[in-house]
């Protein structure tokens, strides 16, 4: 029987230079973190005692946008892992009354990882452009110089367009501190293209919403993650499924002992009609027609399932198309085949949804697992995609470290 002695390290770092400002490790009462695959930001909460540190409480020492660096160890002999690193949102004094009626005061720190800046910052404001206008005047040449970067890159592949938006984000405020904490791993084989002129005027649109709009889902997944070295990454990757709908990862984490679980198949996941309908098809077909009639070559369906269950459709109105679909390009018959092939691929991913297991495994702390990773339950010999995970860690009243894994696509490994 394995015994666990979980460990932690929690540091407060200066936002401007990342130097250590405080070490909270000895005073931590509890930690909780949550992160989901395909979302911009994870979040954390730390509970500390209501004590004085050199004459000041933690709510007086810690400020919004100080950086919290949380490392956890499972307690089975493995090393510490960075599970989340990011700026503070709120520091609060909290009072709770126990069953004995005695008030217990604590300090609670809440925050998010660096995805916070992707959801808080709007791309429509370009301080670098405004500065150029101030330097060169308000004539036509100055306006073109200031805003030309926003007009040059509205057409391209998902990789090219996400990289363009990242460049706008990093350059919009000269000498800003936050971009240095945002790294990227943009890697997909997707060669389809789109043209979206509305991306020029995106005031009111946060960075993450603009990027998700151009990820070209479901072929690609745009997500974020904090790696084991504590660095934060925006990740654009091909959906990690093969042509049979099985999860493809270089490494699968093994689990064999669950504290509890709630996992099974669900009819709610059923899809028996899939239509891939890129926007170009909308312009060459009668919009009044049913999608399946308008372009049957990109429609896939089960013959028997609708008879028993009715239609359970998934309509994919992709913004992207093969390159030759643009009027300026010579049409390539192979690209029509490419659209059909992609419809086949999506159908392979979704047609057996109702047979895949999903649910939650609760296991002893696993700080090495990240959302988007694959796990294999050795007892069932089944593989799963981790869509979301939560770490619950406590020092008091008794040591506890539990990881909840929300999983999907459970099937034989």
Give the integer Cα–Cα distance in Å for 229 and 12: 16
SS3 396: coil
Average pLDDT of the residues in 164-189: 92
Give the integer Cα–Cα distance in Å for 396 and 399: 6
For residue 171, count CB atoms less than 10 angstroms from its CB and return exposed for 0-12, middle for 13-18, buried for 19 or more: middle
Closest-CA residue to 50 (of 97, 90, 12, 105): 105
SS3 229: coil
241-269 core/surface letters (b: 16 or more CB in 10 A; e: else): beeebbbeeeeebebeeeeeeebeeeeeb
Q: Which of 127-131, 193-197, 293-297 has the highest mean pLDDT?
A: 193-197
Give the integer Cα–Cα distance in Å for 362 and 390: 9
Give the integer Cα–Cα distance in Å for 225 and 372: 9
Higher pLDDT, 137 or 265: 265
Domain extents in the chain: 7-113+356-412, 119-239, 267-354
Which CATH number applies to 119-239? 3.55.50
CATH 2.30.300.10 for domain 7-113+356-412: yes
Per-residue model confidence as pLDDT tens digits over 134-162: 565 555 555 555 555 555 567 889 999 99
Of 45-59, 148-162, 262-276, the one with minimum mean pLDDT is 148-162
Average pLDDT of the residues in 369-394: 97
Higher pLDDT, 413 or 172: 413
Q: CB 358: neighbour CB atoms within 10 A?
A: 20
Residue 298 in this model has a pLDDT that exceeds 90:
no
Of 187-201, 269-283, 328-342, the one with minimum mean pLDDT is 328-342
Higher pLDDT, 297 or 148: 297
Per-residue model confidence as pLDDT tens digits over 177-221: 999 999 999 989 999 998 876 766 677 789 999 999 999 999 999
Task: State the pLDDT confidence band at 281, using cuts at 50, 70 and 90.
Answer: low
∠ CA 36-171-139, nearest 5°, is 135
Mean pLDDT of all residues belonging to the chain: 88
What is the structure's pLDDT at 323? 76
Tell me the DSSP string of 60-94: HH--TTPEEEEEEE-SSSPPPEEEEEEEEEEEEEE
What is the structure's pLDDT at 250? 92
Give the integer Cα–Cα distance in Å for 178 and 65: 10
Q: CB 135: neighbour CB atoms within 10 A?
A: 10
Average pLDDT of the residues in 369-383: 96
Non-local (6+) Cβ contacts of 155 within 8 A are 193, 194, 195, 196
Give start and end residues of each alpha helix (H) in 325-412: 333-350
pTM of the full predicted structure?
A: 0.89
Non-local (6+) Cβ contacts of 60 within 8 A are none
């Amino acid at each position: 029987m394995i015994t666990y002695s979980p460990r932690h390290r929690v540091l407060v770092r200066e936002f401007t230079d990342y130097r250590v400002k405080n070490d909270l490790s000895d005073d931590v009462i509890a930690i909780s973190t949550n992160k989901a695959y395909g979302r911009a930001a994870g979040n954390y909460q730390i509970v500390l005692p209501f004590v004085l540190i050199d004459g000041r409480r933690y709510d007086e020492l810690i400020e919004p946008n100080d950086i919290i660096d949380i490392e956890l160890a499972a307690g089975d002999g493995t090393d510490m892992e960075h599970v989340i690193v990011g700026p503070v949102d709120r520091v609060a004094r909290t009072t709770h009354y126990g069953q004995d009626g005695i008030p217990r005061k604590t300090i609670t720190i809440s925050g998010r990882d660096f995805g916070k800046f992707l959801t808080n910052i709007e791309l429509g404001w370009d301080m670098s452009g405004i500065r150029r206008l101030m330097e060169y005047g308000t004539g036509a040449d100055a306006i073109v110089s200031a805003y030309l970067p926003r007009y040059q890159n509205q057409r391209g592949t998902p990789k090219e367009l996400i990289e363009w938006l990242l460049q706008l984000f990093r350059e919009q405020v000269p000498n800003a501190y936050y971009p240095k904490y945002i790294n990227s791993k943009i890697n997909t084989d997707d060669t389809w293209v789109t043209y979206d002129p509305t991306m020029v005027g995106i005031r009111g649109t946060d960075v993450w919403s603009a990027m998700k709009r151009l990820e070209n889902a479901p072929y690609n997944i745009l997500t974020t993650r904090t790696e084991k070295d504590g660095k934060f990454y925006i990740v654009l990757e091909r959906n990690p499924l093969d042509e049979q709908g099985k999860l493809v990862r270089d490494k699968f984490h093994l689990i064999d002992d669950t504290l509890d679980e709630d996992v099974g198949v669900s009819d709610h996941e059923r899809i028996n009609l899939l239509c891939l309908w890129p926007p170009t098809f909308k312009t060459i077909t009668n919009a009044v027609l049913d999608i399946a009639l308008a372009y049957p070559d990109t429609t896939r369906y089960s013959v028997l399932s609708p008879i028993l269950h009715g239609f359970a459709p998934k309509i994919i109105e992709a913004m992207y198309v093969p390159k030759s679909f643009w009027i300026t390009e010579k049409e390539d018959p192979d690209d029509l085949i490419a659209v059909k092939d992609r419809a086949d691929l999506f159908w392979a991913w979704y047609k057996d949804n109702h047979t895949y297991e999903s649910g939650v495994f609760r296991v002893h702390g696993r700080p090495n697992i990240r959302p988007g990773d694959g796990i294999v339950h050795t007892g069932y010999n089944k593989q799963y995609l981790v869509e979301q995970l939560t770490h619950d860690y406590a020092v008091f009243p008794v040591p506890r470290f539990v990881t909840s894994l929300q999983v999907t696509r459970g099937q034989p490994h």
